[in-house]
C-alpha cells in the first residue's frame, strides 16, 4: 500500500491539487493500493481505485490528527512508500522506515526565511528519503535545505488532453473570425504577466488585428480589465472568465500561440507552468518568462520562446516574432506537441516511485 499526505487535493482547484490528484490516479491505475490523507471538508467521492480521508477544523489540530493517523498506519500496515505534497505535510509526521517521497513546487520556499522557518523546513525535509523538484529552478531553492544526494528533478506530467469539441471550436471561430488568436489561461495575478500581453497588443503594427483571449479569474482581474479598457486595442482583448475543460480544449485548439510571460513579483514566481505542456498537446507554441521554472516547460527556440516577462518590449517583440512567422509557429508547435505527448503520467509515474534499494 502507498500512503499520501497532502494539504492540497481535488476537488479543490490549483496546480498542486492537480498534481497530487494526477499522482493518486496514476498510482491507482498502476494497480497499487493507495490511501490519501488530505486537508479539507469531506467531499463527494470522484475517485476510483483509492480511498480519501479528510481532516478539517483548526489547522494545527487537524494536521496533528492527520500526522498521528499516518504514523499509526505506517506501524499497522505494510506501507511501500509515503508521498507528501510538500515539506509542510511532513512537519508533524514521524516515519517508520518506509521510503518517503516529498514533492517540491517552488512557492513553499520563502526567499528570506527566518532562522526558525529555515530550521523547520530542514527538519521536515530530513524525513524524506527523496525530494522531487518540479524544475531546476525549484531544485535550486530546495537545495538550500536538503542534501544534493536526496534531491532530483522530475518535471510534472500531464493527463492526456481531450479532443476539442468541433461545435465549441466553431463558436469561437464564429465569434472571433479568422484573425490570429493569442490565448492565455491562468489564475489572474501579477506574476503571470498578463498585463504585459495587454500592453503589447497596441505596441506593434504586426499585432494589429490579433485577438487576445484571456481565460481565468483572480485578484488581478479588475486591474487587467481597466488596462484593457484604456488600450487602443481594447476591442481585441477579451476576458473569458473561468472556463470548463471543454472550453479549455477548444481555446487551446483554436489559438495560434499560447502566452503566459510570467515574472517574479516579490516572493511569487512560477515554479514550472504545466499549462505550457497542455498547450503543446494541441500543437501550439508557448511564450513564457525566463524567471522561475518555465525554462523546464518550454525549450527556448524549440517548443516556444522565452523572454524577460518583466520587460514589456521583450514580451511584445517575442509575440510579434511568433505571429509574423507561420513557419516558425508550425515548427515550434510540432515540437511542442511531440514533447507534450511524452509527458503523461502513464510514461512518468516510475520516476516518482521509490528507487530499488533505497529506503
Classified as helix, coil or strand, 11 is coil
The 10s digit of each residue's pLDDT in 138-149 is 999 999 999 999
CATH assignment, 2-157+346-351: 3.40.50.2000
CATH 3.30.450.40 is the classification of domain 166-340: no
Query: For position 44, what pLDDT does the model report?
Result: 64
Whether residue 291 contacts residue 348, with contact meaning beta carbons closer than 8 Å, is answered with no
Reported as half-sphere exposure (CB side, CA atoms, 13 A), residue 48 has a value of 2
3-state secondary structure 89-130: HCCCCCCCCCCEEEEECCCCCCCCCCHHHHHHHHHHHCCCCE
pLDDT digits (tens, 9 = 90+) for 262-289: 999 987 888 999 999 999 999 999 999 9
pLDDT at site 99: 96
Q: What is the pLDDT of residue 127?
A: 97
At 93-109, the pLDDT tens digits run 999 999 999 999 998 99
Check whether 176 has a pLDDT greater than 60.
Answer: yes
The mean pLDDT of the chain is 94
Residues 6+ apart with CB under 8 A from 279: 183, 252, 255, 258, 285, 286, 336
Q: What's the CA gap between 251 and 185, in Å, rounded?
A: 9
pTM comes to 0.90
Q: CATH 3.40.50.2000: which residues of the chain?
A: 2-157+346-351, 166-340
pLDDT higher than threshold 60 for residue 238: yes
Under a CB-based contact definition with an 8 Å cutoff, are residues 256 and 267 in contact? no
96 Cβ neighbours under 8 A, 6+ residues apart = 71, 74, 75, 79
Comparing 52-66, 119-133, 273-287, 317-331, the range with the smallest average pLDDT is 52-66
CB 138 within 8 A of CB 272: yes
Amino acid at each position: 500500500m502507498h500512503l499520501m499526505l497532502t494539504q492540497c487535493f481535488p476537488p479543490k482547484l490549483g496546480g498542486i491539487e492537480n498534481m497530487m490528484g494526477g499522482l493518486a490516479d496514476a498510482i491507482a491505475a498502476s494497480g497499487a493500493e493507495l490511501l490519501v490523507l488530505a486537508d479539507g471538508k469531506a467531499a463527494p467521492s470522484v475517485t476510483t481505485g483509492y480511498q480519501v480521508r479528510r481532516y478539517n477544523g483548526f489547522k494545527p489540530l487537524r494536521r496533528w490528527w492527520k500526522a498521528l493517523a499516518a504514523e499509526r498506519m505506517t506501524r499497522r500496515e505494510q506501507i511501500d512508500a509515503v508521498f507528501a505534497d510538500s515539506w509542510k505535510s511532513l512537519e508533524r509526521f514521524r516515519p517508520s522506515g518506509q521510503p518517503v517521497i516529498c514533492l517540491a513546487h517552488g512557492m513553499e520556499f520563502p526567499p528570506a526565511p527566518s532562522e526558525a522557518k529555515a530550521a523547520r523546513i530542514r527538519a521536515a525535509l530530513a524525513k524524506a528519503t527523496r525530494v522531487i523538484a518540479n524544475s531546476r529552478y525549484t531544485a535550486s531553492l530546495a537545495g538550500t535545505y536538503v542534501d544534493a544526494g536526496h534531491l532530483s528533478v522530475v518535471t510534472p506530467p500531464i493527463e492526456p488532453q481531450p479532443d476539442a469539441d468541433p461545435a465549441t471550436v466553431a463558436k469561437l471561430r464564429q465569434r472571433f473570425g479568422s484573425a490570429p488568436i493569442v490565448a492565455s489561461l491562468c489564475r489572474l495575478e501579477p506574476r503571470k504577466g498578463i498585463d504585459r500581453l495587454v500592453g503589447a497588443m497596441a505596441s506593434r503594427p504586426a499585432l494589429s488585428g490579433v485577438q487576445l483571449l484571456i481565460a481565468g479569474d483572480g485578484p488581478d482581474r479588475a486591474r487587467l480589465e481597466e488596462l484593457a479598457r484604456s488600450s487602443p486595442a481594447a476591442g481585441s482583448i477579451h476576458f473569458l472568465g473561468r472556463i470548463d475543460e471543454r472550453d479549455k480544449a477548444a481555446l487551446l485548439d483554436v489559438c495560434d500561440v499560447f502566452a503566459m510571460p510570467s515574472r517574479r513579483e516579490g516572493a511569487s514566481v512560477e515554479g514550472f507552468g504545466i499549462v505550457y505542456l497542455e498547450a503543446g498537446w494541441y500543437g501550439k507554441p508557448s511564450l513564457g518568462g525566463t524567471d522561475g521554472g518555465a525554462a523546464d516547460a518550454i525549450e527556448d527556440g524549440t517548443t516556444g520562446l522565452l523572454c524577460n516577462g518583466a520587460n514589456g518590449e521583450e514580451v511584445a517583440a517575442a509575440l510579434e516574432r511568433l505571429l509574423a512567422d507561420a513557419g516558425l509557429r508550425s515548427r515550434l508547435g510540432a515540437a511542442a506537441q511531440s514533447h507534450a505527448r511524452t509527458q503523461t503520467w502513464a510514461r512518468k509515474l516510475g520516476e516518482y516511485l521509490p528507487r530499488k534499494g533505497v529506503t
